[in-house]
Amino acid sequence: MSYYDEIYEYAADNYGLITSNEAFTNGIPRVELAKLSKRGRLTRLGHGVYRVAHYIPTPFDKYAEAVALTGKNAYLFGESVLAMHGLALVNPTVIYVATIDRVRRNLPSYIKVVICKDRGTVASYEGIPSQSVYDAIMACRTSVMSGRLLDAVDEARKQGLITEKEARTARKGLSTQTRLLRSCFRTEQSKEAVHSG
């Protein structure tokens, strides 16, 4: 079996991607990736990340690519986890990727790196390392409207992405947050009424 065949076999189950570290772990010299890239059999996407040229795209490619480009210990984070699953009507213009490591490499502008010292629960959805859906919902409390997150909880539960216990905990936390925000809004309205009166 040629090096390309080995690479293709590995990449076929990984969104067409292979990193130089994965190649090395599988007994493929890193220099082979550069050679195959020059011949047009691989496309270099970024530092140490390649995609086989003949690959059928999927809706999850951009997420897998963003995690691979960010490096070891990287995983999908926050709104991007929700977007990947079609939850909370989010469609961020960037892909949020978290890591415990400092990232020194140049990344495309569509990748936003979040440094997280506490990884929390890292799951794997569609073979892509990701923050758990429950943690992602809770992490989005300051950036996504509570009503959308409550809908996301119901949909995530239907899809089996969170447990019933997680759904109850999330609903309780999000409902409390919604009540607090409404209370603050009413307080601001009453202040305005006093000043205008």
What distance in Å separates the CA atoms of residue 63 and residue 158, rounded to the nearest whole number? 23
Rounded to whole angstroms, what are the CA distances from 118 to 6, 29, 52, 95, 100? 35, 34, 34, 20, 7
pLDDT of residue 142: 87
**C-alpha count within 13 angstroms, C-beta hemisphere, residue 31:** 0
Query: CA-based Rg of the chain, rounded to a whole angstrom?
Result: 21
**pLDDT tens-digit map of 134-189:** 999 999 998 898 889 999 999 999 999 999 999 999 999 887 755 444 444 444 44
pLDDT of residue 44: 94
- Top pLDDT among 66 and 47 is at 66
146 contacts 170 by C-beta, under 8 angstroms: no
pLDDT of residue 177: 56
User: Average pLDDT, whole number, for the chain?
Assistant: 87
pLDDT of residue 183: 42
**Mean pLDDT on 34-38:** 94
- Does position 83 have pLDDT exceeding 80, yes or no? yes
Q: Give the SS3 label for residue 181.
A: helix
What distance in Å separates the CA atoms of residue 48 and residue 142, rounded to the nearest whole number? 35
Q: What is the DSSP letter of 16?
A: T
Rounded to whole angstroms, what are the CA distances from 14 to 31, 68, 70, 119? 20, 10, 16, 23
Q: Give the SS3 label for residue 165.
A: helix
Spell out the long-range contacts of 112-116 with Cβ–Cβ below 8 A and sequence spacing 24 or more.
113/70, 114/77, 114/78, 116/77
Domain segments of the chain: what residues?
3-52, 61-178
What distance in Å separates the CA atoms of residue 82 and residue 100, rounded to the nearest whole number? 21
